[in-house]
Structure formats: structure tokens, C-alpha cells
Chains A and B, each alone.
Chain A
Amino acid sequence: MRIFSAALLLLLGGSLLQAADTYYLTIAGLGGEQEYEQRFAGWASDFDKILKGEPNAHITTLSGAQATRANIEAKMGEIAKQAKAEDSFVLFLIGHGTYDENEYKFNIPGPDISATQLGVLLDKIPAKQAIIDMSSASGGITPILQRPKRVIVTATKSGTEKNATVFARYFVEALRDPSADADKNEIITVLEAFRYAEGKTAKFYDELKRLSTEHPLIEDTGKGDGVKSATVENGQGIVAGRFALLHTGSAVAIANNPEKQKLLKQKEDIEQQIDELKYRKASMSVPDYRGQLSKLLVELAKTQEALDK
């Protein structure tokens, strides 16, 4: 994660800590069977509960009978009016999806909603966007919805993976499990949550010795296919790595405190030096690298200690 945080944040002029509003819309579609109805509604409710404590959050959940196309259009229209460019919008889709070679559809009561229809609604929302589609066949959504700087996470690699998915279970878990915050900065980004859920999903099938019927992908460049692993080489994950989904600590409060700005700047400088050092790691001897790293980490720890006072 670090490679996408300090250095790239500075490069991109953004910060995970900026105080702006986040609009969360969770839609739990039709289950078809009681077991799935309960499962989908349960996950949606879990998102709802977890996000409740998030600062500056506007949370809406449309579940079961409420998840009609009219309600979705109305809510997204409302968000389009309220949200500003610096705000964030997160759409969680939980349920069954279908794909017919051309178009992905998300199953809801009444007429299903297609990816194209969702795209029209999304394009009207000025905020930064993350679409987390955890439905079956969700891979089919990427070619239709992808835009530069829009993060798209799907439970499946294509529209042809049509079995019910477990990815949503682990995406919810990512927002609960502190270990999902891999860089321990008290912010779980879309990329961190994706990595956590993708890893757990793969392990689920591996442990049961079952052929995997879902292969989660992430795409945030606006072109090409989604990837399983976001890396510097494939260029994926830069936007997702700075897209905060959940704050788990005091980072926001510190960021908003004017008295701490100098220390905060110092901290970001050290973090940048650490990132630069890591880039040079392969060309350095191990003792040299570890020595320099240790020195910077001690400096960073002291700065953080001062920030926390």
C-alpha cells in the first residue's frame, strides 16, 4: 500500500485525510430464494452499521422490496444534486447479476437495472466514484462503466462467471477486520478492502478444494481489463489506493487540527523518503537498505509521537 500513499498522494495533490463528504449507496438486489434474500439483506445491513460512524457520511441502503429502479434513480439523482467534485460516492451492489454477451443487468424487484442505465446515473454525479459490484456476472460491468479515475471492483472477472458469489462476505469483513488496514494508517481504502476480500475469496475456494467460480478484479484507469493484483507495472490501484472507504482512528481529527500542520508536513516528508528508499531497495545492499530504513522509521515514529501528544 505505501507505494500508493505518500509519494503518489503528493504527486496527485490529494490526501486521504481531507475532510469532504462521502455518499454511500448500498443496494441489495433480489435473492430469488429465502437463503439469498437473507444473506444479501444481512450484508447490506452490515455495511450500513459499519459506515454509521464514518465522519461526513451520507448513507443510504436500498434492500429487498425497496431496491426498485425508481428508488435507485431517485436516490442517485438526489446525490447528483448534492455531491460536489471533492466529495466521494461509493456504490455497493449486492445480489445476483446476469450477462447476455452485451449487457450486464443487476437483479432487482420489477425491471432489472442495466449497467448502461447505471452509467447514465453515475455520470451525473460529480463526486469521485467507487463502484463495488459484488454480484454474480459483475465482471460484465467494467467495460460499460469504466472511466478515468472511477474505481470499479467486481466479484467476477467477466460476465460469464454466473454462480452466486462469496466476495461480498469478505468485503464486509474487510471493513471490520483491522488487518485489512495493511499500512496501519487507520484508513481502509478501496484498494486495501479489495486486496483483503480478493485474498479471502481465493482462500475460500482453495481450502474447500473447489474450483473457483469467481475471480475478483479491480480497475481504476478507465481502460483495459480489471486486474487481480494492482501493481506499479500495470498502473492499476493508484486511484483506489487513495480512495478512503472507512476511517478507523484519529487520523481525520489530527488532519483538521491547524496546530499540527507542520508536524503533519514533516511526517509526509519522511513517508515520502521511505517510499523513495523502497523504490531503490533492489539496487542497495541489505545492510545499507535496512540501516537507512531503520533511521527513517525512527524519525517517523518520533514525529508521530509528537503528533499524538
Chain B
Amino acid sequence: MTMRLFWGVILAGPLFAQLPEPVAKCQALLHHGDPGTKACYQALIRSTDSLAQAEGLWHTGDYKSANELFRALTKSREKDPVSRVRWGRMFLERGQAPDAKAEFDGALKLNPDYAPALLGAAIVAGEQFEGAAIKNAEKALKADPKLYEAEEVIARVQLEDNSPAKAAEAAQRALTISPEALDAMAILASIDLLNDKRDSPWFAKALAVNPSYGNAYAIAAHFFMINRRYEEGIAQFRKALQLDPNLPAARSALGIALMQLGYEEEARKELETTYNGGYQNLETVNSLRLMDTYKDYVKFKTPRTILMLHKKEADLLKLYFQPEFERALTAYDQKYKFKLSKPVQLEVYPNHDDFAVRTLGVPGLGILGVTFGYVVAMDSPSARPPGQWHWAATMWHELSHVYVLEMTNHKVPRWFTEGLAVYEETAASPDWGDRLDPGTISAIKGKKLLPVAELDRGFVHPTYPEQVTVSYYQGGQICTFIKEKWGYDKLVSMIHDFGASLTTPQVIEKEFDLKPEEFDRQFNAWHDPRVKNQVEHYDDWRKRLRDMGTLMKDKKWDEAIKEGEAIRDFYPEYVEMNSVYERLSEAHAGKGDKTKALAELERYSKLGGRSPESLKQLSEMQLEQGRKKDAAATLERLNFIYVEDESVHQRLGALHMDLNNPAGAVREYQAVLAGKPLDPASAHFGLALAFKATNRVGDAKEEVISALEAAPGFKPAQKLLLELSAKE
């Protein structure tokens, strides 16, 4: 969800002075929603001033001509930043933030202190949730203290950061500069609505200035959406469009919101209206394209689940996703002591860009799953290279959100719901969930963890590249701290507190009788010793891991082992590529010491290592030692990471048969078949044996016939067929 619907329409106050007088006059009419606005802009088209002409074309909807004229203007007025900024504002209004940014940057090259350009840069940064938004807005204010729009940007960013008091202060400052600052009023109205007020006097005040100011409701909708209060957001979007049907960005956002919540038919209608009206931004186009592919998906329904899988992998994924889906819901029913009121829809996308479009309307999203109330969208295990992530942990993470959002009526700060979801991943199984990563160690070292009361900022407006990841980690650690010190029930109580509209500081005080600052102090006292070793040794570990790599390359096994064992416990959580465990295992194997090689891979697996190759190797080693049960458990663990490997299912099926677990074998051979194997005969035969072991003789015979259909000369299958036929 981006922010572009709020900006670029209204411009009043000091900047008027820099625009031709007729333009300023039209802007004032626009600001007030005056019926004469259109005629005013139409008149500008006939102006002899090119900038006025461009403004006229823009505001009468002839964007193509306006674009050409702005382009010509910026060429003919090379040293003039005004036309660049105005062109940028038109781009912003049309949902083309990168083009807008280029023009604002161009203007700032001409004049680094040009306040409208700084403001434009602040708006673009705000749209893209970049930390530079406030910095640029403050620079703009320094250059022009009367630029109230800059205060509006600050207000908006603060409210996105879940700091309503600071947001209200900035909005009030904007109103002090200009009592007709409409967006400031809309932000104050949004604060009221977010506080569960049914209405806000600020709407009336804004409409008194401009009776058709639909953006007031669109702004409120935006804040509901980013606070995951989707249904309320949709209601506000509808109000906005009722007041002003000519808000294509709001209509597009409404369409995307409807798509996110699974209202496919209505979503398509709104998005098509937007598209056919000429507003063809990326989000609209991508969402429509994605919806066109829905025919390629199949839905599996149970009383409390709807599993939506792509047809090409549905047979395979259903075997693993459906039971895990049910298991997670059963666990959360008990943990949260709460029953969901309707089925949860889980959508699984084999193409990561489709998932990203489903989520934000644009591809390129770096996350794995997103929850929209009762609808969860996530990457398929096949969407990323094997071993990059743990699909089951992601599923549990997102399903935790479903409960927390529902229990709080979507009134929960991001840090808490994310932190609890991160906690739940590892609570489901200790080897799940993400480990302490190098970026987080650097952040801890640089003392960049945020106070709990401000932690939302780390999610919404990160100020350094890893901050979102660091904030997930910190949220998870805070929930772990609470669970360890006060017990899990406190976390459940906190869910209810947030549902009762308490703020983070209020919840901290209520549940722990602590001021947030004291909570932070206690958290740090708990957390710091847990990461002290890693933080202190990180640089040394990093250098020596590199050195170990060189020793490995030269096959200097003894030296590599000595180095690896010396650094392994400096940073034991590191189980990503080139982990010490995998290297130590290789070095021990190089020396012929299979026992130690196996022990290192077992450490790796226990700590959450996810490389399919290493886990398969571990399973082989366990099997070599006759530890079939452990070998099967390792492959079961791998199934939660990557399910597309036919050889794993084949092997696990055989192991389950050996371990007298024919039900497990049935699932595994079904998985082999679902993957359209190169050797279908063996898979059918394996499944036949598993069915036979579960006394499903009819199914067994069907499978053995299928095996022989593929390979009539398959002797073991022939024997089984004769055996089964003799029983008839």
C-alpha cells in the first residue's frame, strides 16, 4: 500500500508566489473544491505562459500533452527548478514516484535549498516508506518555514510510526501556518478514527474548506490499512469515492484492498474501472494481471481452512500444507484461547513476484508471507531456491497474525504482532525460525535497537537497510523475554490489552507495572548477556571463517578443524551458507572420521540449518550408522523446508516402510507421484506396498497396476500383483 493518493492535488500558501498568478488562482479554487476550478484550468490552456499551459493541461486530464509540455519546459528553462518540481508533482499524482523523484532531484541539483523540491523529495521518500522523509521535510521547512505541507509530511510519517501525539503536533503546526491545511485536518481526523471514535470534527472542518475533499477519507483509509484494519480501511475508501469519484489512486487502492481480503469480483470491478479511466499505474496493472491467473489455482476447503494452491503443484503441496495448516490452527486455538469465526484462506504462490503483487500490487517484495485478516498469502516452497527459508515457520508466523488481528480487532502495534509471530515460529519447533543474523549483530553492536515504545518505527520507516529484519528479531526477543520472565499468559493478556485500544506504554505499565524505559532496561539486561559472546567475537569470527575457507580449499583438514572448533561457539547460531558446522563436517569426512562429520551436521540441523544438501547428507550418514529413525526425522525436517525433491520423498517413503510407519510412507510416495517423477513405476510400486501395509488392498492393487502400466516388466511389481490377485 503506497501513499500517493494524498499528495499533489492541493497546493496553497507560499509556493503560489512562485507560480504564475493565474495558476495560483486556479490552485486556490482547487483547494476549495470550487465548481469554477475546471473552467479556470481550461482557461490556462490558452495562456501564453507555457508553465500555466502545462498546469491547465494537467488539471483538465490531458496528461500526455502536459507531459510533453513539461518536458519541453525543463529543456527551455534549464536553470529553473519550478517547472521540474511541478512536473514531478504531476508524476506523483499519477502514481509515478520514480519519475517524480528524478525531477525533484534535478531541481535540487539546480538549487539544493529549493523548498518545494525538498518537499517533493520528502513526499516521495514518505511514499516509499523511507527514513529520509522527515529529514527532507525538515530541510524544506528550514528553507521555507511557511511550507505547511512539510509539516503534513512529518505528521503523516509520525502517525505511520504509531506516534499519534507527535503526528498531532506536526499537524497542528501545519494548521498554525495555514488554517486551511486540508491534509493536516485529515491526519487529525485519522487519529480520532484510529482511537475508535465514530467520527471526527476534523472531517467537518476539512469539508467546510473543500466540500468535495474526498482525500480526507482516503487518508484515513490509508492509516487503517497500514494498521491492518482492513475492513475499516475499505469503508473509508468507499466514503472517499462517494464524495469524489474522481480519485483514481483511491479507487486503485480500494481495488487492491478488496483483492487482499479475497473479495475478488468487487476488486476486479474497481481495478478495471481505474484502469479504463486511464489510471494505469503498476499496482493496478499488476493486480489485474495477477487476478487473470487465478484460474490456474485450485481451492481445497474444510470447515475452517481454505487452501489455495497453484494447479501445477497442488497435489504435492496439499500433502504437507493441509495437515500443517490444521495443526497450527489447533495449536493457536489452545494457546490464545480463542476460536476464529470463519475459515482462514491460505494462498500459496509459486512465483514470488505474483505473491508480491498480491501483497502490495508491485513485484520485488522481500518478505515471505503477509496476512490480511482471514486471508494469508505466502510464497510457495518452490518460489525460492531450496534452503533459503522455512515454509512451515512462515505459515505458523502468518497464522499467528490471523488470531492476533482478530482478537484485537486489528488494533495491535506492528512490533507486538510481528514479535509474537516470530516467537511462535521457534515455539512451534526450536529449529524453526530465523537465527541471529550478522546484520542484527552489527545493529546490536552499534546500539541500534529501539526502545519498545518506538519499535514500530523500525518496521515502517527504517533508517538503515537491515532495520526491518532487526526489528523482527527485537520484537521476537521481547516476546521471549516476557514469556521467560512473566509467563506466556502475559503475552495473551497483552493481546487483549491492545484490543482494548491501550498503547504500548500503557500495556507495559498495566501488565508489568513498569514504565517503558524501565522495561527497556530490564530487557537489555536480559538480552545483552545472551548475545555478548556473538557481539564480542563477531569480527574475529568473520575473519577466521574466511581463513578456514582457505584451509578447506587447500584440504588442510587438521588446520581447518582446529580453526573451526576454535570459532564455532563464537557465533553458534550461524547456520547459513558456509557455516562452520558444514565445513567441520566436510573436514572430518575428509579425514575419514565419519562419526565427527555426522556430529557436526547434527549440530547444524539442531540449530536450524536449512541446506537441503547438508540435511540429505546428514540423513545418509545417520542411515550408514543404522539410525533409521534419526535419518527419517532429518528428512521429515527437510520436508518443512523444501518439498520438491523427489529423491527425498523416495528415500523417506522407504524409511517409513522400514520403520513400520506405512501411513508416512503413503504420504511420501504420493509426494513422489505428485512431482511427476522420471520413474513413475517405482513410485506407484512403493505406494502399493505402503497401501498393502495399511491393509488397503484395493488401493494397493490399483497402484501396482499403475506401476505395471508404466513398466509391464517390473518384476517386483509383477510379484506383488500376483500376490494381491491371489487374495481376491
Residues of A within 8 A of B (CB): 1-2, 178-186, 195-196, 199-200, 207-209, 271, 274, 278, 290, 293-294, 297-298, 300-302, 304-305, 308
Contact = CB atoms under 8 A, between A and B. Distances in A.
B679 interface: yes
Nearest to B708: A297
Given A182-B710, A290-B705, A209 B715 contact: no
B681 A182 contact: yes
Q: What 10 A-B pairs come out closest when comparing CB atoms?
A: A184-B714, A179-B679, A301-B718, A184-B711, A185-B713, A183-B711, A297-B708, A199-B678, A209-B385, A301-B722
Given A207-B385, A298-B721, A301-B722, A183 B712 contact: yes
Nearest to A297: B708
Interface in B433-459: none
Contact of A297 (B385, B705, B715): B705
A65 to B, nearest CB: 25
B171 to A, nearest CB: 46
Contact of B712 (A178, A196, A271, A308): A271
B718 A293 contact: no
Per DSSP, chain B at the interface is helix
Given A2-B711, A2-B712, A178-B682, 14 more contacts: A1-B711, A2-B710, A180-B678, A182-B680, A183-B681, A183-B712, A185-B713, A207-B385, A274-B712, A297-B709, A301-B719, A301-B721, A304-B713, A304-B715
B231 interface: no
Given A209-B385, A297-B705, A305-B718, A200 B713 contact: no
A242 to B, nearest CB: 14
B725 interface: yes
B590 interface: no
23 contacts: A2-B710, A2-B711, A178-B679, A179-B650, A179-B679, A181-B679, A182-B710, A183-B712, A184-B717, A186-B713, A209-B384, A274-B712, A290-B702, A293-B705, A294-B701, A297-B705, A297-B709, A297-B718, A297-B721, A300-B713, A300-B718, A304-B713, A308-B715
A228 to B, nearest CB: 14
A294 B681 CA distance: 15
B324 interface: no
A186 B681 CA distance: 13
Interface in B630-671: 644, 650
Per DSSP, chain A at the interface is helix
B52 to A, nearest CB: 51
A298 B725 contact: yes
A199 B678 CA distance: 7
A184 B713 contact: yes
Nearest to B650: A179
Interface of B: 384-386, 644, 650, 677-682, 701-702, 705, 708-715, 717-719, 721-722, 725
B124 to A, nearest CB: 31
B711 A185 contact: yes
Contacts of B677: 179
B691 to A, nearest CB: 16
B712 A300 contact: yes
- Centre residue among A186, A209, A278 by max chain B CB count within 10 A: A209
Contacts of B386: 207
Contacts of A2: 710-712
- Centre residue among A181, A182, A207, A301 by max chain B CB count within 10 A: A301
A185 B715 CA distance: 8
B713 A183 contact: yes
A178 B713 CA distance: 14
A304 B711 CA distance: 13
B678 A298 contact: no
A294 B698 CA distance: 13
B313 to A, nearest CB: 12
B679 A180 contact: yes
Nearest to B644: A207
B338 to A, nearest CB: 39
A298 B722 contact: yes
A184 B722 contact: no
A182 B679 contact: yes
Contact of B715 (A182, A184, A195): A184
B641 to A, nearest CB: 13
A293 B712 CA distance: 10
Given A301-B721, A305-B718, A195 B678 contact: yes
B588 to A, nearest CB: 23
Contacts of B384: 209
A298 B715 CA distance: 12
A179 B678 contact: yes
A278 B711 CA distance: 12
Contacts of B717: 184
Contact of B722 (A181, A271, A302): A302
Contacts of B714: 183-184
B678 A297 contact: no
B388 to A, nearest CB: 9
A232 B701 CA distance: 29
Contacts of A181: 679, 711
A245 to B, nearest CB: 16
Nearest to B387: A207
A208 B712 contact: no
B678 A182 contact: yes
A293 B708 CA distance: 9
A304 B718 contact: yes
B674 to A, nearest CB: 15
Nearest to A271: B712
Contacts of A179: 650, 677-679, 682
Contacts of B644: 207
Given A184-B681, A207-B386, A290-B705, A297 B712 contact: yes
